[in-house]
Amino acid sequence: MPWLHWGVIAIVLPLAGAMSCFLWPRRAIPLGLVTALGIVTCVAGLGWQLVEQGAQRYAVGGWGAPLGIDLYADGLSLLMLMATAAVGLGVSIYSIGYFNREKARYFWPLWMFLWAALNALFLSADIFNLYVTLELLGLAAVALVALAGGAEALTGAMRYLLVSLLGSLFYLLGVALLYHSFGSVDIAILAARVESSPAVWAAVGLISAGLLLKTALFPLHFWLPSTHASAPAPVSALLSALVVKASFYILLRLWLEIFPPTSAVLGQLLALLGATAVLWGGLQALRQTRLKMLIAYSTVAQLGYLFLAFPLASITGWTGALYMLLSHAVAKTAIFMAAGNILYFGGHDRIADLDRVVQRLPLTVTAFALAGASIMGLPPSGGFIAKWLLLEAAIRSGQWWWGGILILGGLLSAAWVFKVVGYAFTRSRAPHESRAVPVGMEWSALAMSMVAILLGLFASWPLALMEIGLPFGGKGAE
């Protein structure tokens, strides 16, 4: 089976890369870059394979589903892998300039472990394996946050670790109940056997609670802003772009495949929380005085949009949510990179003291503005396509009020983007010391923001890839 090469290598390669970066810290940067390029190649190969042959299932070690661990790849997993590869490549290049030699030797192994966990998570076909990958992801992410050092980052990492473990334990208890009820942890087998019962509802509740805590849906977002803001810039980008999306991916996958079809009330509740997150996150973002804190609150808002698809339950709605996830991942990476550049340049990220940064870091501010356009949902960006799809789904299902949330959220995003860009043009009272930003950091931020715009111009390709294996075709069909 030729698919074996791509999917399995996409998991094994970053693991091997992490170990080699750890063993040869002096060579960590070239080793890491080679691994990153290798992973991107694997994901491209897997994509080509899926286009040619449709969704793929692979039994690891030749052991079948009931006992062994299966890997499964369809359009949904492929797009998540591609988003990870795109963001991962950008962050890898960015981090060369960002970290000094001492920090780089810790960053690369941890980042490669994180990448391995993400790839394994998106390819897993059983809920227990998802738990293991979720924990791998959490531990690597916590260690990366702590990399910044200092009281703020360490307490942020500690809080993140406790939250992450708590979420995983809720999830694991849910898995235990599901296994007890149906005697399997394989998603496909569970989907065939699942029926409504008190144990299943308890499991749905526990799993959802755990995953929502990890996805930081309002009001469980309390840990996110301080953690994401205190981490080093490339790590903030990874956390906001990918790590919170991983638990959302699990929730989406389980919702589409396993959860009983009568969960309409739960869907409405999730969308209500999502709508509150959009408004609350947007308002809090406007109130912040520090740039990274502002961006972190914007992540809270943007995560809210993803949950608006749950009551719509149509293919257009799911596609819109997934597109929102992709474009936010890319755009937020660019924005955190830009914020990292500003922080690197001026030594602080107080918004009011940006001091004509537009003249000194024109590429960075361009990247910020372009990515900001995608976050706002201006055409022709990825964010626009996503909001358009969600709006269409909302109107078609007769629930136009969710569309109102999309528009209000867009206005709030516009307000903070213009606020920051405005301060970037004005002179601050106290001019400050500055140091030159490495070229790679500026260009990688710009490249990521270009990708966010290109996602809008070439939307038909990712949308076509999503169709592979019809991930939304089952219960989501109208």
Residue 61 binds to other proteins (criterion: CB under 8 A): no
Nearer to other proteins among residue 127 and residue 242 (C-beta): 127
| String marking each residue 429-468 x if it binds other proteins according to CB under 8 A | ----------------------------------------
From 65, 69, 91, 142, residue interacting with other proteins (rule: CB under 8 A): 142
Query: Residues 66, 184: contact at Cβ < 8 Å?
Result: yes
From 55, 173, 286, 363, residue interacting with other proteins (rule: CB under 8 A): 173
Q: Which two tokens stand for residue 257?
A: 């495949």
Residue 59 binds to other proteins (criterion: CB under 8 A): no
DSSP line for 411-478: HHHHHHHHHHHHHHHSPPSS-----PPPHHHHHHHHHHHHHHHHHHHTTHHHHHHHTTT-TTTSTT--
Q: How far from the centroid of its chain's Cα atoms is residue 319's Cα?
A: 16
Residue 180 binds to other proteins (criterion: CB under 8 A): yes
d(CA 179, CA 460): 39
**Element housing 244 (H / E):** helix 244-257
From 176, 272, 286, 450, residue interacting with other proteins (rule: CB under 8 A): 176
Residue 34 binds to other proteins (criterion: CB under 8 A): no
Query: Residues 80, 245: contact at Cβ < 8 Å?
Result: yes
Residue 351 binds to other proteins (criterion: CB under 8 A): no
From 25, 27, 33, 179, residue interacting with other proteins (rule: CB under 8 A): 179
Nearest alpha carbon to residue 204 among 267, 161, 130: 267
The crossing angle, in degrees rounded to 10, of helices 28-53 and 75-98 is 160
DSSP line for 413-427: HHHHHHHHHHHHHSP
From 19, 34, 55, 169, residue interacting with other proteins (rule: CB under 8 A): 169
CB of 164 to other proteins, least distance (A): 8
Q: Which stretch binds other proteins (CB under 8 A): 21-29, 130-138, 252-260, 408-416?
A: 130-138
Give the burial string for 18-54 (b: 16+ CB within 10 Å, else e).
Answer: bebbbeebeebbebbbebbebbbebbebbbebbeeee
Q: How far is CA 350 from CA 226, 301, 346, in A?
A: 15, 21, 10
From 155, 276, 366, 428, residue interacting with other proteins (rule: CB under 8 A): 155
Residue 417 binds to other proteins (criterion: CB under 8 A): no
Query: Residues 317, 267: contact at Cβ < 8 Å?
Result: no
Residue 120 binds to other proteins (criterion: CB under 8 A): no
Q: How far is CA 442 from CA 95, 97, 335, 419, in A?
A: 11, 10, 11, 21
| String marking each residue 281-320 x if it binds other proteins according to CB under 8 A | ----------------------------------------
CB of 389 to other proteins, least distance (A): 35
From 128, 189, 260, 454, residue interacting with other proteins (rule: CB under 8 A): 128
CB of 155 to other proteins, least distance (A): 6
From 172, 231, 313, 386, residue interacting with other proteins (rule: CB under 8 A): 172
Residue 14 binds to other proteins (criterion: CB under 8 A): no
Residue 22 binds to other proteins (criterion: CB under 8 A): no
Nearer to other proteins among residue 19 and residue 154 (C-beta): 154
Residue 150 binds to other proteins (criterion: CB under 8 A): yes
Site for other proteins, residues 201 to 230, rule: CB under 8 A: 225-226
Nearest alpha carbon to residue 273 among 244, 245, 300, 236: 300
Structural Rg of the chain based on CA atoms:
21
Nearer to other proteins among residue 123 and residue 146 (C-beta): 146
Nearer to other proteins among residue 223 and residue 305 (C-beta): 223
Query: CB burial class (10 A; 0-12, 13-18, 19+) of residue 1?
Result: exposed
**Helix spans in 147-243 (H):** 150-182, 187-193, 198-215, 224-230, 233-238
From 9, 43, 146, 187, residue interacting with other proteins (rule: CB under 8 A): 146
Q: Which stretch binds other proteins (CB under 8 A): 132-140, 242-250, 410-418, 462-470?
A: 132-140
Residue 60 binds to other proteins (criterion: CB under 8 A): no
Helix (H, G, I), strand (E, B) or coil at 378: coil
- CA angle 222-372-275, nearest 5°? 45
d(CA 135, CA 277): 25
- CA angle 351-355-358, nearest 5°? 95
Residue 135 binds to other proteins (criterion: CB under 8 A): yes
Q: Which stretch binds other proteins (CB under 8 A): 89-97, 144-152, 267-275, 304-312?
A: 144-152
From 19, 139, 283, 363, residue interacting with other proteins (rule: CB under 8 A): 139
Residue 269 binds to other proteins (criterion: CB under 8 A): no
Q: Which two tokens stand for residue 348?
A: 């602080």
- Interacting residues with other proteins (CB under 8 A): 67, 128, 132, 135, 138-139, 142-143, 146, 150-152, 154-155, 157-159, 161-162, 165-166, 168-169, 172-173, 175-177, 179-180, 183, 185, 225-226
